[in-house]
Amino acid sequence: MKAVRMVPSLLLVPLLLVLMQPGALCARRFRGGRNPQPRRSPPPPTHRSDRGDTTESFPLDFTAVEENMDNFMTQVKNLAQSLYPCSAQKLDHDMKLNFLVNTSVTCNDGSPAGYYLKESRGSRRWLIFLEGGWYCFNKENCDSRYETMRRFMSSSKWPQTKRGTGILSPLPEENPHWWNANMVFIPYCSSDVWSGVTAKTEQNGYAFMGSLIIQEVVKNLLGKGLDNARVLLLAGSSAGGTGVLLNVDRVAELLEGMGYAGIQVRGLSDSGWFLDNKQYHCTDCVDTIGCTPTETIKRGIKYWGSVVPDRCRQSHEGEEWNCFFGYRVFPSIKSPVFVVQWLFDEAQLTVDNIQLTGQPVQEGQWRYIQNLGIELRNTLKDVPAMFAPACLSHEVITRNYWIDVQVKGTSLPRALHCWDRSLHDSRNNKPPPKACPVHLIDNCPWPHCNPTCPTIRDQFTGQEMSVVQFLMHMGFDVQKMAQQQGMDPSKLLGMLSSGS
């Protein structure tokens, strides 16, 4: 017990030093009453090219005390309040909007593309996040998208600031491993799964430049500190998660070609590992929801003028659409990539024509959903670094509950920290750290059988649903499932009710 209690104390020592510095500065500012003496202007900032000797700051590993995180963070906040007289002042946690220097790279409607940035002085870690938001693949459904979802096609009404959440949060209690990184959020305004390189013309009416937007953002960031980076994590959710798989090697090659081969480029793909499986029932391909995933991408890749990773293109020449599906493109990716994927992804079920609203699902739909989990497990089994909970959901890394979901007792932030450590140790010819898993996949067979899954809500009433209520709605047969598991039905119900 004593050893466990010492961990937060040891972590607080460097934190004390950090917190005391602003406190001293603030005390100097207000010493002398209402009319403090005027201060000299600060010296001009050092030019970025002179920062070669800057000492890297390493973040505290809050995942080491994640089992007692609430109590630990309460102590930290109390300590900060007592040491820092200015703690009541508003800290600037917002990311600021920047438009691309190269104005020829645009959103769908020709408005300037851009990114949101929150710098973290002294940190040599950068996180670039690609937003998700479906896509459109012909003039008709792009016109419809422009009328109903314009923010995904135009920058005309983007706000000047944006607050990061989840892995983009600057708060250590919400983001224990990446909280002090330089944060970049790239809004999705190209509708092409971050794959296009086509400018707007009078003939096509829209630009599709998602891949070029990423390249230009990286070039712009080199002048804002990325040139001194040690690690660049390209992350994304949904269409952004697929965009990571399509672009992570291109970003690495861009930086290497510009003389920055020392920057370690990695990928984090969340909810972008889609399957090109057969739909539950087939419908006409008239919109993004009704089309099979394969048909959508086949049409889109031509309309967008997409580029795919070179090695994948060579493996699937003439059928480059294969490269939009995780299990097909992953073997060709050279950069390290961590995959986060719900085993029962809502977006996958939607394009497979499984509707989870209204009446309870039929037995055939229930079997289809279970088979989806089996298929996803099979495609992920050879992925070295992954986190796959048996939950029915979509996207996670920017959700405020992302620290709560666990697989086999390990949280996602902890798994990402272990992955970071294993890559660092591998580069230094060290064995991987013990008791620090990076390949985590649930074995239980049905949606939300993991008790740490996100809360389910009835889509009509908004009321929270228990696991038993949810499974009943899904057509779960307690008698049959208990028989399959070799246990008494009442025992199975008790386990489900208690979240076991």
**Cross-sheet strand order for the sheet of 337-340:** 161-163, 94-99, 114-118, 182-186, 125-130, 231-237, 264-270, 337-340, 386-388, 439-441
pLDDT of residue 248: 98
Of 118-122, 140-144, 265-269, 287-291, give the lowest mean pLDDT range: 287-291
pLDDT of residue 467: 64
Q: Would you please indicate which residues are annotated as catalytic (active-site) residues?
A: 238, 345, 394
444: left (phi over 0), alpha (psi -120 to 50) or beta: beta
Alpha-carbon dihedral angle through residues 150, 154, 157, 159, given to the nearest 10 degrees: 110
pLDDT of residue 216: 98
**Which tokens is 484 given?**
């399959």
Helices (H) and strands (E) in the chain, counts: 14, 16
- 11-25, 232-246, 437-451: range with highest mean pLDDT: 232-246
Residue type, position 178, single letter: W
Q: What mean pLDDT, rounded, does the chain reach?
A: 81
Rounded CA-CA distance 407/413 in Å is 11
pLDDT bin (cut points 50, 70, 90) of residue 267 is: very high
pTM as predicted: 0.79
pLDDT of residue 283: 65
177 to 125, 341, 419: CA distances (angstroms): 11, 20, 11
Chain CA centroid to CA 470, Å = 26
Are the C-beta atoms of residues 275 and 293 closer than 8 Å to each other? yes
Q: Which residue has the tokens 């330089």?
A: 182
**Which tokens is 357 given?**
């609203």
Of residues 479 and 215, more confidently modeled: 215
- pLDDT tens for each residue of 403-455: 999 999 999 999 999 999 999 988 888 887 888 999 999 998 888 888 899 98
Rounded CA-CA distance 377/129 in Å is 26
Alpha-carbon dihedral angle through residues 285, 291, 293, 299, given to the nearest 10 degrees: 30
pLDDT bin (cut points 50, 70, 90) of residue 305 is: very high
Which residues, 6+ apart, have CB-to-CB distance to 404 below 8 Å?
411, 452, 454
